[in-house]
Amino acid sequence: MNIVSQTTAFGGMQGVFMHESDACKCDMTFAVFVPPQAIKEPCPVVWYLSGLTCTHANVMEKGEYRRMAAELGLIIVCPDTSPRGNDVPDELTNWQMGKGAGFYLDATEEPWSENYQMYTYITEELPAHVSQHFRMDMSRQGIFGHSMGGHGAITIALKNPDRFKSCSAFAPIAEPSTADWSAPAFEKYLGPDPAAWRKYDACALVADGARFPEFLIDQGKADGFLENGLRPWLFEEAVKDTDIKVTLRMHERYDHSYYFISTFMDDHLKWHAKRLA
């Protein structure tokens, strides 16, 4: 693991690191904040998955999570959103496909399947890697994210309820298989049969029997992507006849930006800390 940068913040360490990924077949960059409590004992870890066009840096620079994470004793891991490199397939004029748009799935279609194995990277390779280098209590893991990353967090939690004890999301893509800005990417990554998309769609996963105890979702009512891309009410409807609890909070005047995310970041970290205690 190569150290890109390390700096002290709120008594802890904010670092950026790079390693060679077997899953994505390229070098991958990620950020980790380690709170001061980790000097004495392993700490719970919360994974943050970013949205379309983002890297690890967006939440690290704009998310304002370090003060509360240090207070609560949470390790925060922020992966990249896709494979990177000159040899990685991309659509240069399409921000909803390719680099920065991995959708946290394992692609099955060429040319994407060679590198775009983000589900395996997030759920298997990166946890195994970081747990060797940081004092993490891997029996206490939570996951959250924004937009495409909110979709990723919810679907990963639904598919791994024994691993994760908490999940939340900011403005998630609730039903990506039917959303304007994700369905075309799903077809390119996973092929033309919508049945293959279901394991990466939160609403479909619930319909197919996947379960997770509870979710916290925050959504801005002034979000320009709300009606055609995000539609969190679809997930609320999907869980209606299940034992899954969804706390959906709709906020007047808030948009899709990190101004929105940073406003409610403390709430989400407290949500996770309570369930990881």
Of the candidates 151, 256, 268, 272, the residue annotated as catalytic is 256
Per-residue model confidence as pLDDT tens digits over 210-235: 999 999 999 999 999 999 999 999 99
Per-residue model confidence as pLDDT tens digits over 40-65: 999 999 999 999 999 999 999 999 99
Per-residue model confidence as pLDDT tens digits over 79-118: 999 999 999 999 999 999 999 999 999 999 999 999 999 9
Is 147 annotated in the active site?
yes
How far, in Å, CA of 50 to CA of 235, rounded? Answer: 20
How far, in Å, CA of 117 to CA of 101, rounded? Answer: 12
How far, in Å, CA of 269 to CA of 265, rounded? Answer: 6
Per-residue model confidence as pLDDT tens digits over 176-212: 999 998 999 999 999 999 999 999 999 999 999 999 9
Helices (H), the chain: 57-62, 66-72, 118-120, 126-130, 148-159, 183-190, 202-207, 232-238, 258-276
- Whether the pLDDT of residue 237 is over 90: the answer is yes
- Residue 116: closest CA among 156, 80, 83: 83
| Percentage, residues of the chain above pLDDT 90 | 99
- Whether the pLDDT of residue 162 is over 90: the answer is yes
Is 223 annotated in the active site?
yes
* Coil vs helix vs strand at 115: coil
Is 139 annotated in the active site?
no
- Whether the pLDDT of residue 241 is over 90: the answer is yes
Please report the pLDDT score of residue 181 as a whole number.
87
Tell me what the mean pLDDT of segment 12-38 comes to. Answer: 98
Domains and CATH numbers, the chain: 2-276 (3.40.50.1820)
Please report the pLDDT score of residue 191 as a whole number.
98
Of the candidates 147, 166, 168, 177, the residue annotated as catalytic is 147
Of the candidates 201, 223, 268, 272, the residue annotated as catalytic is 223
How far, in Å, CA of 48 to CA of 122, rounded? Answer: 10
Q: Is 0.95 topped by the overall pTM? A: yes
